[in-house]
Amino acid sequence: MGLSKRDKAICSDLNRFRCMSLDDIADIHFKGLKKPKNSANNVLKRLYRDGHIKRSTAFQPYVYFGSEVNIKSDSAKIGHFLAIVQVYREMSLFGKFDVFQVEPKYGSKGEVEPDIFCIYNKSPFFIEVQKTIYGQKTMDEKLKRYEKLYDSKIIEKEPWQPKNNKQFPIVLILSEQRFALDDLYSFELFQAVSFSQFLNTLEPQPVKEDFTPKTVKTIEQPTTRTTTQNKPPKRRTQQSQYTQQTYQPIPPNINKDIQTSSNIKVKY
């Protein structure tokens, strides 16, 4: 028996995300069915039995892996990859992806490796998903590598770039930990607990957080900082604004909310 279109999509996602839980697969690939978890479980059993996917019984519910993924069944990185899937699911509630890549490498030696690169509602993002304690020094070094990548102009050569409006992706840090990000950078930089909270800084009406991981706690509005593309002198700032540079219009459901906000400016 050959693989169905949905079977192939599940296998593809398992290779892309590295691993996914039963709940993740049920939500992404079986949404709308009467019993999505039961349906997902039956399909996953068959795919595992036929050798198309791998699984770990060290987790409840089981965690599944793509056939191309080389990762130990009890690896500490499993939790990190599952957190990336959670971000994907949350973002999917509010918009659409043109691109979603996990841990792509950039630079001559691959020194910059965001957890996520995506083009979301026609805007490019680098997203760092930090679920463990991260030292301030380590974060500062990571952001310096982003600064170096910006200066290299390597990103301007990416195939997704528009011809007349080259842009560097927005850098978004998702973490319960608040970092002291005092300097201005050449790229737009934000930090928030969740993507829902990040959107709340852009919209006049709060986003209904239908998808909130149980471990996420509500904190005050995050500090945001931005710079222009002309790379101004490094200095501290108390006032910040989000300037979204898109190379195609944002879909109406998001665009309407952004345009009516009084505390941001959007460029097209």
In this model, does residue 219 exceed pLDDT 70?
A: no
Average pLDDT, the chain: 80
Which residue among 20, 45, 75 closes a domain?
A: 75
Instruction: Name which of 106, 108, 107 is nearest 116 in CA terms.
Output: 106
Residues 64 and 97 in one domain: no
Residues 110 and 93 in one domain: yes
pLDDT grade for 153, boundaries at 50, 70 and 90: very high
Report DSSP state, residue 205. S
Which residue among 75, 94, 126 closes a domain?
A: 75
251 or 48, which is more confident?
Answer: 48
In this model, does residue 91 exceed pLDDT 60?
A: yes
Peptide bond preceding 61 in cis form (omega within 30 of 0): yes
184 or 39, which is more confident?
Answer: 39
- With a pLDDT cut of 70, the percent of the chain lying above it is 74
Cβ contacts of residue 226 below 8 Å, gap of 6+? 188, 189, 240, 241, 242, 243
- Do residues 219 and 189 lie in contact, with contact meaning Cβ atoms separated by under 8 Å? no
Give the model's pLDDT for residue 204: 59
Residues 235 and 180 in one domain: yes
pLDDT grade for 76, boundaries at 50, 70 and 90: confident
Give the model's pLDDT for residue 205: 53
Give the model's pLDDT for residue 146: 95
- Do residues 52 and 32 lie in contact, with contact meaning Cβ atoms separated by under 8 Å? no
This prediction's pTM:
0.76
Give the tokens for residue 193. 């607990």
Which residue among 75, 99, 127 closes a domain?
A: 75
Give the model's pLDDT for residue 133: 81
| Mean pLDDT confidence for 173-186 | 88
d(CA 99, CA 118) in angstroms, rounded, equals: 5
pLDDT grade for 268, boundaries at 50, 70 and 90: very low
